[in-house]
Structure 1
Amino acid sequence: MATSKAISPFRLSSLLRLQKDPALALELFRNPNPNHDPKKPFRYSLLSYDLIITKLGRAKMFDPMEQVLHQLKQETRFTVPEVLFCVVISFYGRARLPARALQTFESIPSFRCKQTIKSVNTLLNALLNCGQYKKMREILSGMNEYGKPDACTYNILINACCVGGDIEQARTMFDEMLRNGVRPTVVTFGTLINGLCLNGEIQEALKLKEDMTRDFKLKPNVFLYTTLLKGLCQIGELSWAFRIKDEMVRNKVKLDSAVYNTLIDALFKVGRKEEALVVMEEMKKSGCKPDLVTCNVMISEYCREKNFEEAYKILEQTEIFKPDVVNYNVIIGSLCREGKSIEASELFQDMPRRGCAPDVVSYRTLFDGLCNCMHFKEAAFILDEMMFKGYAPLSRSINKFICQLCREGDFQLLSAVMTSLGNGNFLYEDIWKIAVSMTCSKEKPSEFELFDTLVVP
């Protein structure tokens, strides 16, 4: 009987690259040749390790990934590159696991690999993602051991200052960068300009952009321009925002949907609807397709005008984009605010047919709308469905609903609602207090009536 040909290290790498399921890839990696001679261990290539570690990290299968790393540590046939550890540290940073990111960084020398500023920068960025500012400072205090800070280092530190709202410290880091002879990049200026805009210092941001082009001969990218556009639109400087847009065109920077959406939204908010529609047409002619943000901007405007028919039409334009749950929630919320909770309920019920499942915001919004319109039976049904789906209702909404039922004297529905809340583990002490106190304030209900209506089986 013929036996299948053994998988070579090269072939294993090819198979791992093609395998989409990380669990199956791990099984293949662990046992590439089930019938192999145990006296001849499989000689894994560095590429195979790289591929499986990356697949497991992306799938957040961290324990198996660590097992593979431990196996890699035993290899002596090749040197493990620092970039592989940078990838692992980044996975932990995105997963908000700062301790594991730090542990990986500290383990690099045990793999016969040297830590450099590259892995330090990766760790700093991971710690920033996790909000570990104190730990970042500790790493900085010993940075000279790994090399001199480069532009990437300062970009991360400036971003950390901006995220933390300390724009003065961000300026200090920028000045230190210049003093140490490190040339800023477009990312450096974009990060600092974004921080200035968030801090409301638009004039300073514009001046920094001029310094960047004049003194450092750097061209702003689309992110930097969009940041300035948003900042100008937020303070109502639309004329200046359009000058920035014109500058982008002159500098042959391609305008993306974020630029157009920012301008369209700003024009709508100040009542310049016709100009907004002109910008939208320009957007289409430029080959920049409207996206979900465009959809949401248009829906928000039509809802503000109480023109729900036009808002519905946007939801039907599935050939342009597929509306998401945010788009539906905007309309549901607007309908509820206008007292049209039944129409909101109909749209809510139609969402699954349209390929969009309601989320917790959808349920909470509709529940509040039905309560405000005194549609208590419908509200109770939505509440029950919400808890069945595993979504937690807001306590203030439940308290208000219980109060409304008590005022209406609908003890039968009150009993059903409290039973449902009890089954969903949402029957808190304050709900009992509200129900008992308001029921007792009625015109002398009998003890049996109270017991029958409030006791949850």
Structure 2
Amino acid sequence: MEKLKAVSPFRLAALLRREKDPKLALQLFLNPNSNPNSTHKPYPYSLLSYDLIITKLGRAKLFEELELILSKLKLETRFTPSEIIFCNIITYYARARLAERALHVFDEMPSFRCGRTVKSLNTLLNGLLICREFDKMQKVFVGLDWFACPDACTYNIMINACRVQDDMVGAWELFDEMRNRGIRPNEVTFSTLITGLCRSLKVNEALKLKKDMFKVYNVEPTSYVYASLIKGLCEIKELSLAFQLKDEMLERNIQVDSAIYTTLITGLFKVGRNNEVYVVLEEMKSKGCIPDTATYNALIAGHCAEKHFDLALRSLNEMEEKTFKPDVISYNVLIKAYFKEGKIKEAIDLFEDMPRRGCKPDVVSYRIVVQGLLSGMQLKEVAFMLDEMIFKGYAPHHATVDKFMNLLHEQGNLELLFEVVNSLAKGNHIDSDSWTLAISTITSKYKLLNFHDVFDELTNSYNLAP
């Protein structure tokens, strides 16, 4: 870092912009000249320098340091901070789920001589939505007339909050209030409402709104609107209407992406129209839309549901031949289907082959395997897989472990029971119920009545550590 005896405000801003490390940037900001003990007058920071350091600290989530900068900014008298700076700070706090701090910044804006407009109000409302602080949102919204007049963005945020809570009645009330106040709904308004209606399976209402948005409000339906409607229609098995909307998109030169084709493929499998799946795939490719990982995962899941494992495996292998690789979901779906059908060997072979295929098993992979082996009564393999799972830092599903240990208890299988307890203890996943079960088993097996004898049997004979 450069150390100059006299760094101008313009030069300081340039140095801050160049510095990638936020902590070093903070040191530079606080000590722009080489002599921090100088008796000269306070350094004349520029608004740009404040903006740059606040951005760096906020993105790095260095909030205590950010508060220090804000305390200095509050003392500045040479300029008035811009509203966008506070909007950014509110957003940083919201992304960190610090709703109270975001509210505090909004409340403190006047003390920085900065007026609050609908822009900062909307930023705060959106931040509270990110934090899922719906009650706080409502309080701010009710008192918004003290700060600014709401706009379409304000209502869109509040309608989205209702959608997130599955409160479509509240969303409609806000939509009506919005129009009564003379605020024109836009494409975001309709997209949010239609998405909420589709997720509530009120697809007919969503279709009507889609017509109204163009005929009544002259707002063109977006690809997002079409995607929501197509997904909703597939959910209620109205495939014909879903395909009609897809064709309408093509006619209106609205891009049909891989997500929409994937939704249609999933819908076809759901209603048993498997023979049409590859027709859709061919159309997809002919339109220049390349099948992606989600598309192939839909194929794998669909073939597995129909017990066409050869086709599912073929889709998995085909993915590997493409420029993209199968993800862990691809394998998990097929492995789970194998276990469900009692194909334990095939499931284990594929699971063990995952690293060679360039995909690392995750916690879900291990849980599927443990559950599958347990259902197949492969008890030794379950104990081995649990130990490997815990060794790799993954937490087993509590209900599955309870089921396994109770089964070993019923069989009086002390050897495996102690192996499991040992594995759980190593990973710090053992609880009082597990210890109680182990003690109960050894007590009934060896007729030991003294607790200390039981404890010694567990800890000394099997090297267990409570």
TM-score of the two chains, using structure 2 as the length reference: 0.88
Q: Could you report, residue by residue, the CA deviation over 1:235-271 in whole angstroms, capped at 9, with x for unpaired residues? A: 0111111111122122221112221111111112222
Structure 1: distance between partners of 2:315 and 2:181: 55
Contact 2:194-2:225 within 8 A present in 1 as well:
yes
What SS does structure 2 have at the residue aligned with 1:134? helix
Residues 189 and 341 from structure 1, CA distance in 2 versus in 1: closer, same or farther, beyond 3 angstroms?
same
* Letter paired with 2:56: K
Which residue of 310, 315, 325 maps to 2:314?
Answer: 310
1:415 corresponding residue in structure 2: 418
Is 143-152 or 273-282 further displaced after alignment? 273-282
Q: Could you report, residue by residue, the CA deviation over 1:203-237 in whole angstroms, capped at 9, with x for unpaired residues? A: 11111111110111110111111111111111011
Structure 1: distance between partners of 2:28 and 2:331: 44
1:284 corresponding residue in structure 2: 285
Q: How does 1:338-377 map to 2 (within 5 A)?
A: 338-377=341-380
The answer on 1:260 being equivalent to 2:261 is yes
* Letter paired with 2:170: Q
1:434 corresponding residue in structure 2: 437
* Letter paired with 2:408: L
The answer on 1:108 being equivalent to 2:109 is yes
Residues 397 and 63 from structure 1, CA distance in 2 versus in 1: closer, same or farther, beyond 3 angstroms?
same
* Letter paired with 1:313: N
Structure 1: distance between partners of 2:24 and 2:8: 18
* Letter paired with 1:375: Q
Unaligned runs of 5+ in 1: none
What SS does structure 2 have at the residue aligned with 1:275? helix
Contact 2:442-2:454 within 8 A present in 1 as well:
yes
Structure 2: distance between partners of 1:113 and 1:46: 13
Contact 1:403-1:435 within 8 A present in 2 as well:
no
Contact 2:210-2:221 within 8 A present in 1 as well:
yes
State the shift of 1:126 in Å.
1.3
Contact 1:267-1:275 within 8 A present in 2 as well:
yes
Residues 265 and 30 from structure 1, CA distance in 2 versus in 1: closer, same or farther, beyond 3 angstroms?
farther
Instruction: Give the aligned CA root-mean-square deviation in angstroms.
Output: 2.8
Contact 2:355-2:361 within 8 A present in 1 as well:
yes
State the shift of 1:60 in Å.
2.5
State the shift of 1:31 in Å.
4.4
Contact 1:303-1:311 within 8 A present in 2 as well:
no
Residues 408 and 252 from structure 1, CA distance in 2 versus in 1: closer, same or farther, beyond 3 angstroms?
same
Structure 2: distance between partners of 1:19 and 1:273: 57
Contact 1:302-1:310 within 8 A present in 2 as well:
no
Structure 2: distance between partners of 1:370 and 1:34: 67
The answer on 1:325 being equivalent to 2:316 is no
Identity of aligned residues (%): 52
Contact 2:373-2:379 within 8 A present in 1 as well:
yes
Contact 2:83-2:115 within 8 A present in 1 as well:
yes
The answer on 1:243 being equivalent to 2:244 is yes
2:217 corresponding residue in structure 1: 216
Structure 1: distance between partners of 2:82 and 2:23: 25
State the shift of 1:285 in Å.
2.9
Structure 2: distance between partners of 1:291 and 1:11: 48
Contact 1:299-1:314 within 8 A present in 2 as well:
no
Q: Could you report, residue by residue, the CA deviation over 1:36-76 in whole angstroms, capped at 9, with x for unpaired residues? A: 88436554432333233223323323222222333332333
* Letter paired with 1:97: L
2:77 corresponding residue in structure 1: 76
State the shift of 1:432 in Å.
3.2
Contact 2:300-2:330 within 8 A present in 1 as well:
yes
Is 225-234 or 10-19 further displaced after alignment? 10-19
Contact 2:408-2:416 within 8 A present in 1 as well:
yes
State the shift of 1:388 in Å.
3.5
Give the length in aligned residue pairs.
453
2:178 corresponding residue in structure 1: 177
Is 110-119 or 303-312 further displaced after alignment? 303-312
Is 272-281 or 12-21 further displaced after alignment? 12-21
1:124 corresponding residue in structure 2: 125
Residues 430 and 159 from structure 1, CA distance in 2 versus in 1: closer, same or farther, beyond 3 angstroms?
same
Structure 1: distance between partners of 2:84 and 2:94: 15
Structure 1: distance between partners of 2:11 and 2:291: 44
Q: Could you report, residue by residue, the CA deviation over 1:246-303 in whole angstroms, capped at 9, with x for unpaired residues? A: 2212222111222111111111222223322222222233233323321321221233
State the shift of 1:5 in Å.
8.8
2:389 corresponding residue in structure 1: 386
Contact 1:232-1:240 within 8 A present in 2 as well:
yes
* Letter paired with 2:292: D
Unaligned runs of 5+ in 2: none
State the shift of 1:163 in Å.
1.6
Is 86-95 or 142-151 further displaced after alignment? 86-95
Q: How does 1:83-94 map to 2 (within 5 A)?
A: 83-94=84-95
State the shift of 1:396 in Å.
1.2
State the shift of 1:382 in Å.
2.7
Residues 29 and 340 from structure 1, CA distance in 2 versus in 1: closer, same or farther, beyond 3 angstroms?
farther
Contact 1:302-1:311 within 8 A present in 2 as well:
no
Contact 2:95-2:130 within 8 A present in 1 as well:
yes
State the shift of 1:115 in Å.
0.8
Is 343-352 or 413-422 further displaced after alignment? 343-352
Residues 401 and 454 from structure 1, CA distance in 2 versus in 1: closer, same or farther, beyond 3 angstroms?
farther
TM-score of the two chains, using structure 1 as the length reference: 0.89
